[in-house]
Chains A and B, each alone.
Chain A
Amino acid sequence: GDSVTQMEGPVTLSEEAFLTINCTYTATGYPSLFWYVQYPGEGLQLLLKATKADDKGSNKGFEATYRKETTSFHLEKGSVQVSDSAVYFCALKMGTYKYIFGTGTRLKVLA
Chain B
Amino acid sequence: NAGVTQTPKFQVLKTGQSMTLQCAQDMNHNSMYWYRQDPGMGLRLIYYSASEGTTDKGEVPNGYNVSRLNKREFSLRLESAAPSQTSVYFCASSYQAQETQYFGPGTRLLVL
Contacts and interface: CB of A to CB of B under 8 A. Distances in A.
Determine the main DSSP class of B at the interface with A.
Answer: loop
B42 A43 contact: no
Contacts, number: 50
Nearest to A3: B42
B101 A99 contact: yes
A99 B43 contact: yes
B: interface residue count bin:
20 to 34
A98 interface: yes
Closest 6 CB pairs of A and B: A101-B42, A43-B103, A44-B103, A101-B43, A96-B97, A43-B104
10 contacts: A43-B102, A44-B43, A45-B103, A46-B102, A89-B42, A89-B43, A97-B33, A98-B45, A103-B40, A104-B42
